[in-house]
Structure formats: C-alpha cells, structure tokens
C-alpha cells in the first residue's frame, strides 16, 4: 500500500487489510483459517 497512497488513505485505520477479488475479507488481525477458506473458494472459481 505504500506505493498506492489512495489505498493507504482509504484503509488507514484498518491496516493490515486483506482484499480478495476486491472484497475486504479481514483487517487488523488476520485469521489464518478464514483466510485459507476465502482463498480456496476464490481459487476454485
């Protein structure tokens, strides 16, 4: 996000942020199990 100031401005309070297919899936504390599920679903499509 450092190279994209508009994203830093948009997500400043929530960094780190996980976006999958443009949808915010997690922020602040990333849940490993939830991230794995979301990524598996995204890769299956």
- Region of 28 please: left (phi>0), alpha (psi -120 to 50) or beta: left
Quick one: pLDDT at residue 35?
Answer: 87
Read off the pLDDT of residues 1-45 as tens digits, 9 standing for 90 and up: 568 888 888 878 888 888 888 888 888 888 889 889 989 999 997
Q: How many Å from the N-terminal Cα to the C-terminal Cα in the chain? A: 26
Expressed as residue numbers, the domain containing 33 is 5-44
Does residue 16 have a cis bond before it (omega within 30 degrees)?
yes
Quick one: pLDDT at residue 33?
Answer: 92
Count how many domains the chain has: 1
């Amino acid at each position: 996000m450092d190279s994209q100031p508009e994203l830093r401005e948009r997500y400043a309070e929530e960094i780190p942020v996980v976006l999958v297919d443009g949808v915010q899936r997690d922020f602040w504390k990333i849940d490993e199990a939830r991230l794995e599920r979301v990524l598996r679903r995204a890769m299956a499509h």
